[in-house]
Structure 1
């Protein structure tokens, strides 16, 4: 391993240790999200991590286009709110949702076609320095929408991902899952009471009823992804941690449990 790769790994490990799980939804956040008078809102966990790399510790991830109520309440306590979002349609969708439920002050965007998690230190600093007042950002979003309508009136309708789908694909990208469509289709077609598990190569390990999922996982040594139509309990989470499962898709979780940062959870 090259020295630069070693340094990057050490840096990543340190920053991973700084990420906290905040609020009832266990949202990824920087360690100063409550104490800092300013707040930066981002899309996902990888964005929080990238900001930690440049010393920004007051960010929190919405984890989708539906803004959690806990973030709406947190916003009310802050002096200044900045949304730092991807330079794509997904970032615009999240911005629109936030504007419907909360008052923010500034908007910073990654360059067009880039995601916040991909930006270099220099690019992130520049994007934050060039943040715009929310009124100006709103105007640009509307102008962009009108321009696209005029430019592409006859273009065939393309398959577009909803905000929630975009979050799922981003989670899977972070986990380096190459066949993301397989996971998406499995979730989409999941039947009532069904549970399905995959290994890291997305080979199906088992399909069963949720009532038997605990025993099935106990007998499995290769499970990395678990998708089930049910609620994640404290007992099941303990087994998931023990078996080093990296991704869970489920209906909900028991209120009292907290999800470790090393496990990605997508709520169906």
Structure 2
């Protein structure tokens, strides 16, 4: 029809004639009636000889004594020349013996059509061919990555507990919930991990924690993770607690989130009250002591009132009576001592937490730090000279050389912090709560935030 290499535009037109005409009649009328109309530069014969106008295509249909058809003229001229040539076709008013009318219906840009075809084809290639190949390559990468991770995973103990290869030799371990958590941490190069498989912590893991220098419990940010932390604190040796962001699981965390969660780990002594392990320890201690008391009372009764002693004469009964009185005095003395030892910690705690009239100036600092797990260092004029996280409080106090008279922090006052404060000449310690303190330096005053 036309040379596809040179054609830029196609002139679409329709013809209506009052009579019967054929294709040669229409082509002859186009060449004959436009000859010399537009000058030598746009003469159709010359343009066709030079290839700037392609072969004229005509399709006609005669019906009822009238002829209707379409005319297609390919052009490699520019837009202006093609428009002029198209307008000249509408000047034709006669074809053969019949009157006729030619009307331009469309100017088709062949390059735009090609662009549309290119776009449609590119869409098919992009969505069809690339999508078909992508899952295969992705699947290969996942298979290779999974195989490496599975090869790195080891198993601990008789129950084949999933763990990382560094658990056996490393002094520090990370305890997570399940096998998927171990795999995710292995993916990012953390190889000293071991899982507990749920809230029922295996005895092997509890024993392993007692042999390691540093044990970090890293659980999901949900209720189940909190229950696992409570159980681990009770039966295992735990140093730090790390939690995933609220609502997220360790197996779904990316590297940045894992590193952030482990960096924000909190010493277990600072959050021991949150997991309410003291009450359980007290209950277990009372239950453990009760059988001993019953045994002791039973033994005393057997010694004091045996049936045979009561039937013997007064001389033989008196030594037994004296022994029973002596044992009663001893037992009452022991009970009195136990009451004194039980009262002393209570008195000591009361002395530690008793507020002072001068301590009201620390109240704003304690209020600001509430829920932040942070600490503030105050100088002799009660001005803030440094701030740090509670998890770094011990190390910061050891290395701090400037003047510090007061430390206010959102955490538990422990014996270790008290000893360091005494060595550093710190006069006041303000914490959220007071932990297990057996010896309080006289130079350090201890307050709690809720008592200020």
Aligned residues: 142
* 1:33 correspondence with 2:167: yes
Cα separation, 2, equivalents of 1:140 and 1:130:
17
3-state SS of paired residue (2:271): helix
1:138 match: secondary structure: coil
1:191 aligns with: none
- 2:225 counterpart (91, 115, 121): 91
2:405 aligned partner: none
Classify 1:139/1:76 alpha carbon distance in 2 versus 1 (closer, same or farther; 3 Å): same
TM-score normalised by structure 2 residue count: 0.30
Quick one: structure 1 residues 73 and 8, their matched pair in 2 at CA, closer, same or farther if it must change by over 3 Å?
same
- Measured after TM superposition, the shift of residue 44 of structure 1 is 0.2
Structure 2 counterpart of 1:62, from 172, 178, 196: 196
Q: CA deviation at 1:70?
A: 0.9
CA RMSD of aligned residues (A): 1.6
Aligned to 1:79, which of 204, 207, 213?
Answer: 213
User: Which SS does the other structure have where 1:52 is aligned?
Assistant: helix
Cα deviation per residue 1:44-100 (whole Å; 9 max; x = unaligned)?
000000010111111100012121111111111101000000000000010111111
* Equivalent of 1:20 in 138, 147, 154: 154
Is structure 2 residue 249 aligned with structure 1 residue 107?
no
Unaligned runs of 5+ in 1: 143-268
Distance 2:136 2:265 in 1: 36
Query: Residue deviations 1:174-228, cap 9 Å, x none?
Result: xxxxxxxxxxxxxxxxxxxxxxxxxxxxxxxxxxxxxxxxxxxxxxxxxxxxxxx
* Shift of residue 10, structure 1, vs aligned partner: 2.1
- Rate the CA distance shift 1:133–1:12 in 2: closer, same or farther, 3 A: same
Find the aligned partners of 2:205 and 2:190 in 1 and give their Cα distance. Answer: 18
Aligned to 1:53: 187
Of structures 1 and 2, the larger Rg is shown by 2
Whose relative contact order is higher, 1 or 2, with alpha carbons under 8 Å and at least 6 apart? 1
Residue number among 257, 264, 269 corresponding to 1:135 in the alignment: 269
Q: Relative to total residues, which structure has the larger helix share, 1 or 2?
A: 2
Q: Residues 133 and 2 of structure 1: is their aligned pair in 2 closer, same or farther, counting only changes over 3 Å?
A: farther
Q: In the aligned structure 2, how far is the partner of 1:27 from the partner of 1:96? A: 20
Deviation at residue 141 of structure 1 after TM alignment: 4.6
CA gap of 1:137–1:9, structure 2 versus 1, over 3 A, is farther
Partner of 2:363: none
